[in-house]
């Protein structure tokens, strides 16, 4: 195997042969500085040559353990066999026609699969796009046409993307929104259920949110409510049980479209097909992206057939939406998920990560919360005995993990949440080794 062949055949080991970043990455970083806009940041500047299973190999020959999956994308593993096989077959056949010009089966196959795997057994249809933000924008467009209403309800700490409408829907200013306004109108923010910080039951937190939507926006104006069933960028907050179902019941009674943004939480990540499945919540529309296609750019809106069909012919689309190569990758990713029961694997990974993180919490009073579901877990760092965010410690621990060859990510409105999103193809021993590194990173930054 040469250095550029990735996939599960790569040696599954943490191996550091240079500093992080090493000389080859430092040189590549110089080129990045010269040619890539400074606004495009990089969390861990090692330049990748191969990846697969649970590792990322860099230009210096370092092999790092991946606990990020390229932000919850390569859930089936990098260069997963069924993905690469189907992509190769597709690129050899044709690479693009534009589905709006001359269609092809791959697009329809992905939509049929989405009908099967998304929550609820009602009649569904889908439309395909390129990015998560684009899917969210289209879910709003569909909701507006279907209801004849304008307003969009979103939540504190939400992240929905970087386009103009989705910036308005995203909560956090820096770095996502700062200086980029004015933003799209008719977006209203309601309080979320955040158990660590509000101590409310799901029902009480839902009543608080519904009061804002009802009294400050008004149901007659409200087209949709868009919610991440488990927050992604906003800090992996899991709303208290009952919050999502109370919100879903209210939306359904009021004719408001409930949109579940499962872009980060979907496709086996949380130990089921979707995070909504854990509470039996059936959203009207679901937005998906990231894990759907094993690393190729693809996104979708899936939902009630009558809502999806409310848009006039030609009203939905885009040059590349549902590109045939991305669709082939999605069909490969779905094949991997089914063949290897990756939802079951996510539950096992979740139990292992919980055990490591609970042990760590018992030892480190800076850890105020351990939360998440399946292979989507996080710890929130606060000054001991308080809920005052400790972003500096999160950054220090994150950096120490990187130096020791583990790819980790932070998140949260205050940047004080340390999140874990391993590929579901990671071997157990490598996962355990990575958490040994996390533990040492806490010790070395105390
Ligand atoms: N909705 C829930 O998590 C993307 C963003 C990383 P795109 N999250 C990672 C960054 O800093 O840009 C995301 C998400 C949820 C929507 C999106 C947007 O998806 O594919 O990045 O547009």
- The string of pLDDT tens digits covering residues 112-139 is 999 999 999 999 999 999 999 999 999 9
**168-190 average pLDDT score:** 98
Q: Identify the residue whose C-alpha is closest to ligand 1 atom 16.
A: 160
For atom 19 of ligand 1, the residue with the nearest CA is 132
Ligand 1 midpoint to CA 438 (Å): 25
Dump pLDDT digits (tens) for 268-286.
Answer: 999 999 999 999 999 999 9
- 166 CA distance to ligand 1 centroid (A)? 10
CA of 133 to the centre of ligand 1 (A): 7
* Average pLDDT rounded to a whole number, residues 247-256: 98
Whether 73 lines ligand 1, by a CB cut-off of 6 Å, is no
What's the mean per-residue pLDDT of the chain? 97
The residue to mutate among 74, 75, 161, having the most atoms of ligand 1 within 8 angstroms of its beta carbon, is 161
Furthest C-alpha separation in the chain: 63
Asked whether 66 lines ligand 1 (CB < 6 A), one says: no
Q: What is the mean pLDDT of residues 382-397?
A: 98
For 152, phi then psi, to 5°, come to -125, 125
The stretch 398-402 carries a mean pLDDT of 98
Judge whether residue 1 has pLDDT over 50: no
Q: Is the pLDDT of residue 294 over 80?
A: yes
Burial (CB < 10 A; 0-12, 13-18, 19+), residue 18, is middle
Closest approach atom of ligand 1 to CA 71: 9
pLDDT for res 5: 87
Averaged pLDDT for residues 399-420:
98
**Residue with CA closest to ligand 1 atom 3:** 264
Atom of ligand 1 nearest to the CA of 289: 20
> What's the rounded mean pLDDT across residues 412-439?
98
Please compute the mean of the pLDDT values over residues 192-200 and round it to a whole number: 98
Residues 6+ apart with CB under 8 A from 31: none
Calpha distance 356→440 (Å, rounded): 12
**Alpha carbon of 127 to ligand 1 centroid (Å):** 18
Write down the pLDDT at residue 407: 98
pLDDT of residue 446: 87
- For residue 385, the model assigns a pLDDT of 96
Give the model's pLDDT for residue 3: 47
Task: Write the CA distances from 181 to 7, 164, 165, 285, integer angstroms.
Answer: 41, 8, 10, 28
CB-ligand 1 contact for 289 (6 Å cutoff): yes
Is 159's C-beta closer than 6 angstroms to any atom of ligand 1? yes
Q: Ligand 1 within 6 A of 265 CB?
A: no
- pLDDT per residue over 3-41, tens digit each? 468 999 999 999 999 999 999 999 999 999 999 999 999
User: Ligand 1, residues 73, 136, 159, 180: which to mutate, most atoms within 8 A of Cβ?
Assistant: 159
Ligand 1 probe mutation, 132, 318, 421, most atoms within 8 A of CB: 132
């Amino acid at each position: 195997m040469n250095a550029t062949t990735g996939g599960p055949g790569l040696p599954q080991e943490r191996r550091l042969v240079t500093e992080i970043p090493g000389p080859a990455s430092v040189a590549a970083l110089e080129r990045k500085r010269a040619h890539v806009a400074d606004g495009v940041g990089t969390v861990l500047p090692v330049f990748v040559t191969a990846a697969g299973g649970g590792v990322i190999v860099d230009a210096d020959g370092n092999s790092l353990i991946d606990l990020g999956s390229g932000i919850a994308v390569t859930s089936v593993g990098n260069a997963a066999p069924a993905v690469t096989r189907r992509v190769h077959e597709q690129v050899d056949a044709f690479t693009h026609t534009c589905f709006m010009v001359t269609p092809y089966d791959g697009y329809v196959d992905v939509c049929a699969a989405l009908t099967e795997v998304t929550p609820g057994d009602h009649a569904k249809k889908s439309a395909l796009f390129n990015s998560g933000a684009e899917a969210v924008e289209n879910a709003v467009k569909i909701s507006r046409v279907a209801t004849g209403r304008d307003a969009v309800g979103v939540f504190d700490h939400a992240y929905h993307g970087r386009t103009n409408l989705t910036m308005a829907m995203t909560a956090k200013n820096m770095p996502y929104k700062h200086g980029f306004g004015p933003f799209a109108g008719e977006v209203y923010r309601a309080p979320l259920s955040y158990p660590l910080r509000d101590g409310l039951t799901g029902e009480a937190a839902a009543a608080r949110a519904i009061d804002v939507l009802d009294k400050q926006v008004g149901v007659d104006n409200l087209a949709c409510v868009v919610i991440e069933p488990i927050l992604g960028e906003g800090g992996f907050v899991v709303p208290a049980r009952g919050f999502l179902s109370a919100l879903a019941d209210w939306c359904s009674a009021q004719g408001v479209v409930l949109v579940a943004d499962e872009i980060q939480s979907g496709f086996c990540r949380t130990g089921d097909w979707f995070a909504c499945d854990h509470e039996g919540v059936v959203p009207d529309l679901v937005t998906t992206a990231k894990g759907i296609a094993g690393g190729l750019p693809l996104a979708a809106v899936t939902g009630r057939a009558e809502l999806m069909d409310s848009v006039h012919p030609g009203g939905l689309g885009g040059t590349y939406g549902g590109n045939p190569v991305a669709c082939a990758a999605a069909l490969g990713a779905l094949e991997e998920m089914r063949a290897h029961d990756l939802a079951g694997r996510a539950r096992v990974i979740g139990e292992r990560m919980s055990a490591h993180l609970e042990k760590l919490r018992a030892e480190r009073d800076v850890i105020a919360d351990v939360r998440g579901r399946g292979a989507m877990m996080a710890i929130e760092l606060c000054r001991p005995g308080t809920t005052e965010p400790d972003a500096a410690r999160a950054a220090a621990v994150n950096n120490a993990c990187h130096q020791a060859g583990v790819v980790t990510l932070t998140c949260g409105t205050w940047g004080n949440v340390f999140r874990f999103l391993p590929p579901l193809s990671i071997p157990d021993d490598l996962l355990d080794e990575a958490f040994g590194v996390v533990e040492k990173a806490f010790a070395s930054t105390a």
